[in-house]
């Protein structure tokens, strides 16, 4: 099975309003509730691809119960089973609110900070994580750290995974990413902004190679609509869709992470992995439901992804 | 005891952000959760004033459980006990989100519509309401109707209260208010905008007397910072604070309703009732916590409220 970790899960709310006007009162015309947090999204996509997946991280309070119920409901019947191994905490899982203007489609995002995690809760989590590594073929460490967890938390989890011989994909930003890379994860998947913050360089090729020198075995950088750039022990590639796709980019990065994990456990070569990641990411942008992917778009896009060997260029 | 009815209860969330910018992403710096809905606020103030109160209406889902927990927590230890007689429903209680700009203090409000109520749930409620009327000295019918309830619902509840000999205060707006008045409630408490919508007149004296002719035994109109205007069988009065107060007006109208109910069951004369209502309302505006009232402000304001006999003017 594949393990995904989400330390700061969320109840994701999407509110549709005719138009958001600061300091006015709005009647919300549509409310959508989704289980939130990058690792939960990755697990749902892995389940849809047929991979058995275990979800861990923290949930608590009434919002946490709602997230667990929604996770079960949105993964029931997928070809790959998704198991809930979330660790209970005293605090309440946070909410995020995306306010969508019906007219323009523009989104205003409000993110609660999340509950503080106690040292005892962190210890309970690392014990659970260590047990779950026994049986995992890969692990994804996803998203921001909730309050109360030390900034080297992802570095600690990467070391535990390496000790257990389980390859770790790290998808975070800022100081947790910087510390995490130094613990030598199998793969990191920054976007251009996260990479620039890490390396100080806005030139993607230079920054991607620089990030790899900092300790990651491989670096796959998201270039948004232009696809992915990968610096790996086997070479340097850029994979791109036939044309940029238009739609809702929510969850596109999580779909890329799921495809990269699937390629890792299936042992496919890098060009194949990257093709799947770009096609799945584009098929997620094209889906009318945020965070889901359009299966027929995925299948039709897959043979049309171009992969260039940048080292040869 | 005094009974309060809230058909569309809510989990009220207050989000503090540095500044709300449409189409940007915001980290919420403070989250406050409160039990919401006018009748719940009225009950909390009545409890603080020493009146035993029963809360009914609908709650459901995880948000409903949170609302019930917060209602118990915020009314525990009050001099008047507040009892929870909320009726469970299949749908989930709505949320409201107030986004407060830390710099300006301005608020942007997002209100979920609320769950649809089935005919069986409405029947269960009216049965519970009828039982609760036996023992009630007054009843307050507060706020908007959730989806699925017929527009004459408040008129139906006013008639049930009259049949049981319990005076009913109706605090709603639009068509439910128009229908409700025709069933001859003891008291309505519109604000100037609600009254203008009902009567077509923006002139408060004319509109207040007009509303009374439509069937309400008495009409108390909120004039905002200028106090209250009352048309009653005993006369016409205006009560005003010594000076307009500045602060957070959230819940000020609910505090006025609580004071009017307390005056009704205590049998005080209209000028006394109006003085208490204006003082309690102003003390709510002055409280740092939205919906609470400042007890010392209430006591110091009470002797300074002016009540003018408008019929004599």
Q: How far apart are CA A71 and CA A58, in angstroms?
A: 13
Pairing of strands A107-111, A87-88: unpaired
pLDDT along chain A (313 residues), means of 10: 97 95 93 95 96 98 96 96 98 96 89 96 98 98 95 98 98 96 97 93 93 96 94 96 87 95 97 98 88 92 95 61
CB < 8 Å to A17, chain B: 110
Judge: A28–B65 Cβ closer than 8 Å, yes or no: no
Say how many CB pairs under 8 Å bridge A and B: 80
Neighbours of B294 (CB within 10 A): 19
Taking the Cβ of residue B31 and every Cβ of chain A, the question of whether any pair is shorter than 8 Å is answered with yes
State residue B246's pLDDT score.
86
Q: What is the CATH number of domain A2-8+37-92+116-309?
A: 3.40.1190.20
Q: What angle do CA B79, B80, B85 make, to 5 degrees?
A: 145
- Classified as helix, coil or strand, A116 is coil
**Mean pLDDT across chain B:** 95
Confidence label for B3 from pLDDT (cuts 50, 70 and 90):
very high
Interface of B with A in 5-24 (CB under 8 A): 13, 15, 17, 20-24
Taking the Cβ of residue B191 and every Cβ of chain A, the question of whether any pair is shorter than 8 Å is answered with no
Judge: A109–B31 Cβ closer than 8 Å, yes or no: no
The distance from CA A299 to its chain's CA centroid, rounded to whole angstroms, is 22
Closest by Cβ to B62, choosing from A13, A65, A97: A65
Mutate to test the interface with A, among B30, B62, B72 (most CBs of A within 10 A): B62
Mutate to test the interface with B, among A61, A67, A102, A108 (most CBs of B within 10 A): A108
Return the structure tokens found at A249.
């980019």
Domain boundaries, chain A: 2-8+37-92+116-309
- Classified as helix, coil or strand, B168 is strand
Neighbours of B300 (CB within 10 A): 13
* % of chain B with per-residue pLDDT over 90: 92
**Which parts of chain B are beta strand (E)?**
2-6, 10-17, 25-27, 30-36, 53-59, 82-84, 87-88, 94-101, 107-111, 138-142, 168-171, 187-188, 218-222, 228-232, 235-240, 306-309
State residue A105's pLDDT score.
81
Asked whether the predicted pLDDT for residue B106 surpasses 90, the reply is no
Instruction: Classify the phi-psi angles of A291: left when phi > 0, otherwise alpha if psi is within -120 to 50, otherwise beta.
Output: left
Query: Closest-CA residue in chain B for A110?
Result: B26
Q: How far apart are CA A237 and CA A313, in angstroms?
A: 10
Q: For residues B98 and B109, is the Cβ–Cβ distance under 8 A?
A: yes
Mutate to test the interface with B, among A16, A21, A62 (most CBs of B within 10 A): A62
Fold of B2-9+36-93+113-309: 3.40.1190
In 3D, which of A233, A143, A123 has the Cα closest to residue A189? A143
User: What residues of B are labeled active site?
Assistant: 254
Taking the Cβ of residue A109 and every Cβ of chain B, the question of whether any pair is shorter than 8 Å is answered with yes
**Smallest Cα distance from B268 to chain A, Å:** 37
CB < 8 Å to B66, chain A: 62
Neighbours of A267 (CB within 10 A): 8
| pLDDT tens digits, B120-141 | 999 999 999 999 999 999 999 9
Pairing of strands A228-232, A235-240: antiparallel
Asked whether the predicted pLDDT for residue B260 surpasses 60, the reply is yes
State residue B292's pLDDT score.
87
State residue B171's pLDDT score.
97
């Amino acid at each position: 099975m594949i393990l995904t970790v989400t330390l700061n899960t969320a109840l994701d709310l999407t509110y549709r309003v005719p138009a958001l006007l600061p300091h006015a009162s709005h009647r919300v015309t549509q409310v959508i509730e989704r289980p939130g947090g990058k690792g939960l999204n990755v697990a749902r996509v892995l389940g849809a691809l047929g991979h058995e997946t275990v979800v861990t991280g923290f949930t608590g309070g009434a919002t946490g119960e709602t997230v667990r119920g929604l996770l079960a409901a949105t993964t029931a019947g997928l070809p790959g089973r998704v198991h809930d191994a979330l660790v209970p905490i005293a605090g309440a899982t946070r909410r995020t609110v995306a306010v969508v203007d019906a007219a323009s489609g523009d989104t205003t995002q409000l993110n609660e900070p999340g509950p503080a995690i106690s040292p005892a809760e962190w210890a309970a989590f690392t014990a659970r994580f260590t047990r779950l590594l026994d049986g995992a073929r890969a692990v994804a460490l996803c998203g921001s750290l909730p309050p109360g967890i030390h900034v080297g938390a992802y570095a600690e989890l990467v070391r535990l995974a390496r000790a257990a011989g389980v390859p770790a994909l790290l998808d975070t930003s800022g100081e947790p990413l910087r510390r995490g890379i130094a613990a030598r994860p199998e793969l990191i998947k920054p976007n251009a902004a996260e990479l620039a913050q890490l390396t100080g360089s806005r030139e993607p090729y230079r920054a991607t190679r620089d990030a790899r020198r900092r300790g990651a075995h491989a670096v796959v950088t998201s270039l948004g609509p232009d696809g992915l750039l990968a610096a790996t022990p086997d070479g340097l590639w850029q994979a791109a869709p036939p044309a940029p796709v238009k739609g809702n980019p929510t969850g596109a990065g999580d779909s890329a992470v799921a495809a990269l994990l699937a390629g890792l456990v299936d042992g496919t070569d890098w060009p194949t992995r990257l093709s799947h990641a770009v096609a799945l990411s584009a098929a997620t942008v094209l889906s009318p439901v945020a965070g889901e992917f359009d299966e027929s778009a995925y299948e039709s896009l897959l043979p049309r992804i171009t992969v260039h060997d940048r080292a040869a260029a």
